[in-house]
Structure formats: C-alpha cells, structure tokens
Amino acid sequence: MRILFTFLFISFGLLFVNAQKQTSNTKSGVPPFLINTDNLWVDSMMNSMTLDEKIGQLFMIAAYSNRDETHYKEIENYIQKYKVGGLIFFQGTAEKQAELTNRYQTLSKNKMWIGFDGEWGLAMRLKNTINYPRQIMLGAIENEQTIYDMGAEFARQMKRIGIHINFAPSVDVNNNPNNPVINDRSFGDNKYNVVLKSKAYMHGMQDNFLMACAKHFPGHGDTDVDSHYDMPVLQHSAERLDNIELYPFKAMIRNGVSSVMVAHMNVLAYDNTPNLPSTLSPKVVQGKLIDDLGFNGIVFTDALNMKGVAKYFPSGVAEVKALQAGNDVLLFSENVDAAIKGIKAAVSSGEITEERINKSVRKILLAKYWVGLNNYQPIDLNNINADINSEQAKNINNKLIQEAITIVKDDKTLLPIIDVREKIAHIAIGNGKANTFSNRLDSYSEIDHFYISKSETNTNFVALINKLKKYKLVIVEISDMVRAPSKNYGLTTNQIEAVKSINQKYDAINVVFGLPNSLKNFQALHNIVVAYNEDSVTQDITAQILFGARPASGTLPVTVGKYEYSSGVCSQGNLRLAYGLPIEIGIDKSKLSKIDNIIEKAISDGATPSSQILVAKDGMIVYQKTFGNMTYSSKINVDNNDLYDIASISKVVATTPIMMRAYEDKIIDINKTLGDYYSYPDSCNKYNINFKDLLAHQAGLPAWIPFYKKTLDSLNNADTTWYAKQKDSHFNIKIEDDLYLRNDFIDSIRNTIYNCSLGSKSYKYSDLGYYLLKEIIEKQYREAFEPVVQKYLWSHLGMNHTMYNPLDKNINLNQIVPTEDEKGFRNRLIHGTVHDQGAALLGGVAGHAGVFSNTNDLAKYFQMLLNNGQYGGTRFYNKSTIDLFTTSISSSNRRALGFDKPSKSGDSGPTCDAASSQSFGHTGFTGCIAWADPKYNLIYIFLSNRINPSADNKKLINQNIRPQIQQAIYDAIIKK
C-alpha cells in the first residue's frame, strides 16, 4: 500500500508539473491563460462580483513609486472606491514598488494584476536596475535563444516584485527612419526579423508565466507624429497594411500572445472617420483585430491620457468608446472618476450591456488565475535589489550586447586588431572625456588618446586631425549621441566632417555608439562598427571585440543607404584575454569573495600594505582587484595599472621565454653546456654546466652572493671607491638618482660568479645561473637584454606595463608600488628602482630580477602559454616547447626548466594542494606569485609588496596567504 501510495503521489506530481508546463506553453496558437477556460475559481469570482466591481476590473490605473504620500493615498482611494482591477507602475525603484504593491494589495478584495512598461527591462522605469538593450539593438542578434533567455530573465525579475504583465514587445516594423515615437523601440525595418525577435521575447516571458503584449496595433512603425502629443494619420492602403504592418501581429497571434495593445492612430484604410483613433474604432479593434485576425486574448488600449485620444475625446467618453470598440482593459485613464461615471451611465442607458462587460472581465480573471493571483502571496521585501541585479541577470545583458554589436563593414580587414606594436591613436569625438571604452582599449595596447567635444570649431578639429599623421591606425569613437532622428542623432556638422576627413587620410576603425540609422551621415566609410548604445558595458565589450577578445556576430537590423539590412562581418574571438563575469565561465562570484576576506585580513594583520590579484579562466579575466595602499603610511590606493617589482618572476617572464625562443630558433641547444656558447676564463668552472641543469636549479651553484656588500664601507654606507653622487664616464650605472656605481664593478660580479665553487648536482634554488644566461642571450642575439625581451615577447603580447627601470620610461612614481625601506645599502625607501641588490648593481636589468609589471600584463603572458604558444593571432612557441619547459625535470626535483612546479611529496612548494601537477609558474621575493594550470585553463596572479617596510616581514609567507587565496579559487571552480 505504501509503495502504491508513493507511486500515485509521484504520478500526480508529474501530471501537475506537466499541466503547469502546458499552461505556460505559448506556442499553441492560443493565449496560455485561455487553454483551460473551465475554471471554478473564475466562475466563483464572476458570481460574487457586483456590476460596479466588474467595471472596476476593466481599469488599470497609473501608479508611481517615486512620489509622495498624497499620490499613494490617491491610489488607495481608487482601489477602495472603485475596486480597480490593476495597476501599471511607472517611475521609481524596485524596492519601493514592491513595498507599495504589498500595501495596495491588502486593500484589494479581488487581487489586482500589476502591469509594467518594460520594453528594455525594469530600467525603462526603475532606477538602479540593469539597462538591457533596446529592441533595435536586439534586432541585430542572430541567435533568438539569447533573446528568449532575456524574456525569461525579465519574467524572473518582474515576478520578483509582483508584476504580472509586461507591455512588450513592440512588434512595429519601423520602416520610417524619422519615426519620432517608435524608432529604437522596434526590432528594425524587416518584418521577418521583427517576427523572429518578437516571438523569442514573448515566449521567454510567457513560458515563465509573465504575460506579454504585442503593440502597437495595427502598427506604429511608419508614422511621423508621436501619439503621446497628437494623433498620427496612416494613409496606407489596406493591402500595404496587411503585408507589412499587420504581418508581425498575425504571427504573434498564431503563436499565442496573451495580449495586444491598440495604438492611437487614425487608420484611414480601416476606418476613415475623422479624428477617430484606432483605439476607439470598432472597425479596427473588433473588426480587424478580433474578427479578421482571430485574436481572442486580452485587448489593451494604449494609455488613454495620451493626446492621440485625449485631444479629441474626454474621459468618460473615450473609455465608453474603447469598450464599444472591443477593448478589454482601459489603460491609464486620464480621469478615473469621470471614466467610471461614463461607463456606468452607458450601462444604464443600454449603450453597453452587462454581457459585454462580463466577456472582458472573464478574460481578465482567467489571466489573473494564470499568473497566480488565485493564490496570492505578498512580495518578500528582503534582498530585492540583489535578487534583481543578480550575476545571471548581468550575464544575459552581456550576452545580448556582445551578440548585437555589428561590424557593418571591414573593407580594409582591420578587425580584429592583430599587431599591437603598431602606433595606434584613439580619437573620441563626443563629450571630450575618457570613458570605459578608452580605459578598456588600454588593457590591450599602448594607445594615445585624443578627446574632443563634438561642438568644437572646425579649426580645432583640423589641428587635432593633423596630429594623427604618425599613427598606423586610428580608432574613431563617435559618441555623445541622442536617439532623436529630428536632431540627426546628436551629430554635429563638424563632428561628421571630422570623421570623414580622418577616414580619407588614415586607416580608421569607426565605432558608432548610437543608432544605426545615423549611418546615413557616414556612407563612404570602409570600416564601421555599430555599438547601438553608450553604456559602460557596451563600451567595454566593444573594445574587447576590436582586439579579438570576443567575437562579433551582429547584423544590421535596418537598411541605411548603401548599408543593407542583415549586413555584418563576423569576427574572431578568443584571440586575447576577455574581461567578464565569473558566471560567464560557470563560476559563482560569491565563492570568489573569500579572496577578499583573506587579503583584507592579511593587510590588517600587517602581512603586506597592498596587493593586486587577478584570476582568469578559459581565456577570461573574471576577478581583477586591488587592495590596500602604497604603504601602510600612505593614503594612495593601489590601482590595477600600478607596477610592482615582481622580483624572481622575472626569471620566467624575461629570461626563460627568451631561452625558449632561442631553443626553437636553434640559437641555443639546451642539451649543450654554457661553454659551448660563451668563452669563460680558464680558471672558470662553469664551462660544463648543462643548460637544463642550470634552468632547473640543479647545477650546484650557490643560492646567491651578496655582491653589494663589497661596495659598502665599515658603516654599511656606499663606499666612495665605488660610488659617486653624479653620473660621469666611470660612474655611470644608476642605482638611485644620487647614487652611481663605477662601471667596472660588473667585472667583479662576473669574476665572483665565474670563480665560485660548485656543489653537488642536486636541487638548490639559485639566482646566479640567470646572471650567466643573460650574458649568453646578449651574446647570441648581439643586443642588450631588455630590447631582446621587448622585441620578441613583451611588445607582441601588448605587455606595455612590463619593463625594467620604469622611472627611465617616464612612469609616474605614483604608479609604482614601493618595496623595502632599506637599511644597510641604499638606506632609503626603494621606490621605482629594483629591490634586488644584485640586479641594482647591474643597472636594474638582470636575468634573475628587475622586472616591474602588473597582473594584467602577466596574465597575457601566461595565457599565451596556456594557449599552447598562441596569443593575439601570433604564434610565439610550439606546444612541444612549452611542454618541455614546464615539465618537472626529475622525480627528485619539482622544478621545470625555468618554471617552478607544485610541491612533490615532502617538498614545501609554492602552491595550494589543489594545483594540478601540470601547473607551473614562479614566486617572487617581494611577495608575488604568477601561476598557470593547464588542467583547469586557470591563471592566478598575486602581486604584493610584503617587504615594505622591511624584508624581515615574513607574515605573508608564514600565514600561507598566497596558497590560501589559490585554494579559494580552486574551491570556486571545481564542482564537488
């Protein structure tokens, strides 16, 4: 019996679930709330309601959540006095709207349905919510599933604050580019595209129990008057209207749209009564929409306070005529008191029958049942903003934007930008300010920015354009636009002419942060990207597309001159690191938040004054933050672009990669010895050191030699034998601005290394081998070390914040993080010059230390290694070379060739336990680690200045801060 009961329970549950799925199915051609019309709850409601209550059900009145108590009391009065059926909310906030909804519903005997005009989401009306793309931008998206997902997300967000119907989508075919009211609210000028996008949008909402509304019947796309201010007159033939304007409505009706909104237009082909808006026309509503098209869902009027109606018909008259025309719900009546009085009078006189009212009320109640008002529950007011603005909600917005951005033309094949060594200029013609777009461009290349207001004089534009002569490529940002065609989208004559002039003279990529119809001003350009919008997310993603971090797949949703509908060039993505949300690659952001807690505690405990931390997975940077100040006594916050002294990480981002290059180019055979490539003195015992042993720290070299001590006097101050305060031909190795080393001391360093004794060939970490490798690299390449690294690696990767001696490159001191307040050598705060004493004696450029960088640059390098040697469309290494250099050299030595590896049994290594055996990287004495894990396609960069104020500070090491953070990352990405 128990088994039977369980079986029946499960079966009933499945039937219930299936029934729920059935009622949410909008693909049957029947509005979902009408699939099951036999409804006891509706019958009971109908039988219990008075005529006055039924009349109240026909009204959806306007409510605001940004007004005062007077307004809120007024809404309460309407609810109590007239038993209104619903509210449509406008401006305010999500939290306040939810609060008011609860408040109002407590006063309503028959629970109200809540409407919302959210064509591009809650942000259309509510502050502090995600601003999704407008429909013209959605029209550029090829993948309808993405728009469906948006509709589903809208359903989630709107239901969260008690909304039951979204008055969207607009299915108007916007074939009049000068349309003052529809414009970017349409999916475009192609009726087939409008249908595809509208259906996806609708199904996304209705499959998740949020009612959709197709508007503005019979089609508001080809008007030149805004019905908010007057009544447009459509003079098209019935044949033309049937072929274009009605086409999307027919499709939406066939696909089960729940409701249709009727526009305020005088459609002469259907009803030539002067000054009669379609909303009030029986020939349009009953005759065309209901009888001819067979629509049996709910018919909404457009807002009855709009001048397209109110100019010609006062409240009390308009509402009666709307019901007589066939509308079910009267939206935003200008005067509710007069409206209800008029309807009651019409019923009393017999102009409107109670049966007519019952017909609409029954549909309304069926819809209320479908959205769950038969089992009303108050809205949970906790965490509303967080729930609405979730990571999933942001992710869908990102996807929509990425898939919409359109490369309209790329005649000169400039996209994506491959060679970041070229001199690139970015000229922003708009409000004359830096923005997210310019900042993100800097993440990829060293770009010179020029900002100019669109209102500048032609003389100033000419002067600026002349400055662009030295650049190989110009990125032209056209911004600070508006949406009004009547204002030529905010473009000025000088702005337009400047864009044309730049394109005539230079190779240019033109990015339009505005509507595609504005391209009528730019018909002769060869390379055009339309980004549709100017919000920060769009700017960010557009910059990523330009550099091939993300692909472009959007197509034009309209025809503009010679740029035809559906034109668009697909571009490649994944060429460079992208910047996105953890959820985009399946990581829960909240799980990464443990990183913040760990490093904030470390800073509070005095382990390090600051840190830069980056996490990238699957080619996307999903966590990039800075913590703390330059020093504990400083008030200057560190920034993601600030440079850190990365100490021994220099070994794997400078020396080792050049050795890999030399190995591939057969310049150096790493199976040979140092003596095969360098002439050492006869007394030197370094001839027979094998390159592999040296790179793996098993050549028997001492860990280090404190060369600098030979240059100090008995009081540990700089000995004047070796140092001078001013530079001359002998004292020309800069240690600090007022401290120059005698140049022949380098010979002393060399001889000391050449003559040092060798121990056994077992693992012993040593800097000295990298002094020797630097010499060999310079000899083999016949060039100084830093230019070699720049030429073959850093410049190709766009590592423009990676360098030796940053002060010599005019880097501002406030962009460089200080290290130790050193005692006993330089006797000062080391700020802008290398901390490692040996590297300092070499003028700051060494094979073992001396590099300054930031997390962003280091991530590029390690991503290239994870990409098996490719990055930005360039191949740097073969996979076999990377495998060779990143594999442990033996079972007794965890080290690879240059790279460090996770600990082996009994070995104290640099990583957390979760790091795979395939992973590799390096640490730095200053408190840094850079690590990559091919198994998880994961990069972890941690930079700090833990040696400030003193290198004796071992808290970062003793507290295991870096491995703790790394473990938190693995905990976030590994599903348990």
Active site residues: 228, 302
Cβ atoms of residues 452 and 464 within 8 Å = yes
With tokens 């790091």, the residue in question is 915
**3-state DSSP call for residue 691?**
helix
Buried b vs exposed e over 790-816: b needs ≥16 C-beta within 10 Å?
A: bebbbbbbbbbbbbbbbbeeebeeebb
Closest CA to 256 of 32, 38, 19: 32
Strands 610-617 and 620-628: antiparallel
Instruction: List the beta bridge partners of residue 528.
Output: 409, 510
Beta strands in 471-609 (DSSP E): 473-478, 508-512, 527-530, 578-579
Q: How far is CA 229 from CA 100, 180, 225, 786, in A?
A: 30, 11, 8, 68
Residues 422, 436: Cα–Cα separation, whole Å:
22
Question: Cβ–Cβ contacts within 10 Å for residue 345, how many?
Answer: 13
The rounded distance, in Å, linking the Cα atoms of 494 and 308 is 38
For residue 280, what are the CA distances in angstroms to 248, 300, 321?
A: 22, 11, 5
DSSP-assigned states of every residue in 924-942: ETTTEEEEEETTTTEEEEE
Cα separation of 758 and 591, whole Å?
48
Q: What are phi and psi of 835, to 5 degrees?
A: -75, -45
CB-CB neighbours of 485 under 10 Å: 18
The three-class DSSP label of residue 280 is helix
Strands 473-478 and 508-512: parallel
Q: How far is CA 6 from CA 18, 20, 139, 353, 856, in A?
A: 18, 21, 49, 52, 57
CA–CA distance, 869 with 886 (Å, rounded to integer): 12
For residues 252 and 217, the answer to whether their CB atoms sit within 8 Å is no
Are the C-beta atoms of residues 570 and 599 closer than 8 Å to each other?
no
Whose tokens are 């400078």? That residue is 654
Please count the helices (runs of H) and the strands (runs of E) in the chain: 33, 32
The 10 Å Cβ neighbour count of residue 237 is 10
Residue 908: Cβ within 10 Å count = 5
Q: DSSP for 181-240, please give it.
A: SSGGGSS-S-HHHHHHHHHHHHHHHHTTT-B-EEEEET--TT-SS-TTTS--EE---HHH
Angle subtended by helix axes 745-755 and 768-781, to nearest 10: 110
Q: Are 237 and 57 in contact (CB under 8 A)?
A: no
Contact between 537 and 388 under an 8 Å Cβ cutoff? The reply is: no
**φ, ψ at 64 (rounded to 5°):** -125, 145
Cα-based distances in Å from 400 to 335, 549, 576, 661, 972: 40, 16, 21, 41, 26
Q: What is the SS3 assignment for 330?
A: strand
For the chain, state the CA radius of gyration: 35
- Token pair listed for 77: 């009065």
